[in-house]
Structure 1
């Protein structure tokens, strides 16, 4: 099984359609089982559409617009001969003009659930965060875009909400997304995840083969003062998984860079 997480920064790059095309071609080439996307945008003013049965309704379903980035990627995949099931959860207003959210694409059907993880609940406040949970017959997977480190109202609070929701899940877990917590900052976000009783492993740390590491190249939105490559996007997995390969993608090395983040692609098998 192959998994991908990617903060798309959608509709904020120079070539919108190139974003869609490069991502769709990569999904097809690598035969990716489940894709977790963040900063999946649609304009607040664009036209609402009716979705088909490949869209997996969730418990807090917001309207889907014709320019929803995940919808555009799924449509392009369909043009290329492959259908993906998908869902999208609205988080907050981004850049004053987008409904910003998170999405999941899957080769197989799944049940979709939105989990409110932030202390805030105002869509006009960018601190408002919701994660998207998917459950298939054999896996439980999540796409999230978390806040920066804070013990009280930021990442620590949000992680505990996720942890509480997933505590009694019996299926193997895959938790993916933009965690906004660098791997080199000890006693903060990554360490909190690995200390969880969910008993997760960091795919980078356990991969047999590693190609690349950092997921942002330097100063980007939210990390303006950063001058070095950081690993802030993660795929955490249950102990049942073996990680054969961890690879950074969309980094102008393996693939064209199409976002201010790089993607993380892993190849796995179950023990």
Structure 2
């Protein structure tokens, strides 16, 4: 089973439609089964699309996930789309998280990660869980775009507590932008491991350097080093055949201010 996560940074990238073609090409060529996308934006003034999409909010015509789904369909690859509104972004956008999967979705749940949820406050967060049917059984996938460690307005610790509180005893994967570098001890990354989650990077049979951010970007304006903040985690020990950074100019061109992560899971 192939899993992909990418913070798309839409629509803040130059030549984003060309980059959308690159993402679609990679999904097709790599045979991705489940794709988790963050910062999936749509302009708030765009028209509503008449489509069957699992969502907590109307999907609009320039929704990045919707356009990617259409692009894949044009090439004969049919993926189901979910898109869920998280908060307003850059004044004119509605930002959310999206799943694309070619596996049947049997459940869909939106999880508020902040109290007194306010969609106008950009630090308020939501995670999304889907359950999909695979030939070996049903598995849960979470799409996360979390906040920073020790942020009193929207603390990462609370985000992870709320997500892990919903984990079942079955196999689950958490994909997304966790905003907590893996090399910093006694903060967010270590807290994730303390909650019983397993970093697929650490158990992969084959892997590269793993960095997904290499410069200063939105949210990391003072950064000057390589960071691994985009992760794929599991709640059980699984066989990870390969963990690979994607959209980094070595393996497909850059499409965002984040690189993506592609994982090949061997499901027993």
Aligned residue number for residue 177 of structure 1: 176
Tell me the CA shift for residue 124 of structure 1.
Answer: 1.0
CA distance in 2, matches of 1:269, 1:51: 33
Q: 2:257 aligns with which of 248, 256, 260?
A: 260
- The answer as to 2:112 corresponding to 1:116 is yes
What are the ranges of 5 or more consecutive residues in structure 2 without an aligned counterpart?
none
Please report how far the alpha carbon of residue 212 of structure 1 lies from its aligned counterpart in structure 2 after TM superposition: 3.0
Instruction: Look up the match of 2:76.
Output: 81
Alignment match, 1:13: 13
| TM-score in terms of structure 1 length | 0.93
Q: Is the 8 A contact 2:82 2:99 kept in 1?
A: yes
Distance 2:115 2:15 in 1: 35
Poorly superposed stretches of 4+, deviation over 4 Å: none
1:105 corresponds to which of 100, 103, 128? 100
Aligned to 2:192: 193
Contact 1:201 1:237 (C-alpha < 8 Å) held by counterparts: yes
Shift of 1:171: 2.3
The question of 1:220 aligning with 2:221 is answered no
> Are the equivalent residues in 2 in contact too, given 1:172–1:240 (CA < 8 A)?
no
For 1:159, the equivalent position in structure 2 comes to 160
2:166 is paired with a residue of what secondary structure?
helix
Q: Name the structure 1 match of 2:31.
A: 31
Q: Would the aligned equivalents of 1:42 and 1:98 in 2 still touch at CA under 8 Å?
A: yes
Equivalent pairs counted in the alignment come to 262
CA shift at 1:68, angstroms?
A: 0.5
Q: Give the CA deviation at 1:120.
A: 5.0
Three-state SS of the structure 2 residue aligned to 1:194 is helix
Partners of 1:77 and 1:223 lie apart in 2 by 32
Aligned-residue CA RMSD (Å): 1.3
TM-score of the superposed pair, with normalisation by structure 2: 0.94
Whole-angstrom CA distance in 2 between matches of 1:80 and 1:104: 19
| Cα distance change of structure 1 residues 120 and 229 upon mapping to structure 2, 3 Å threshold | farther
Structure 1 position 134 matched with structure 2 position 135: no
- 109-118 or 223-232: bigger deviation: 109-118
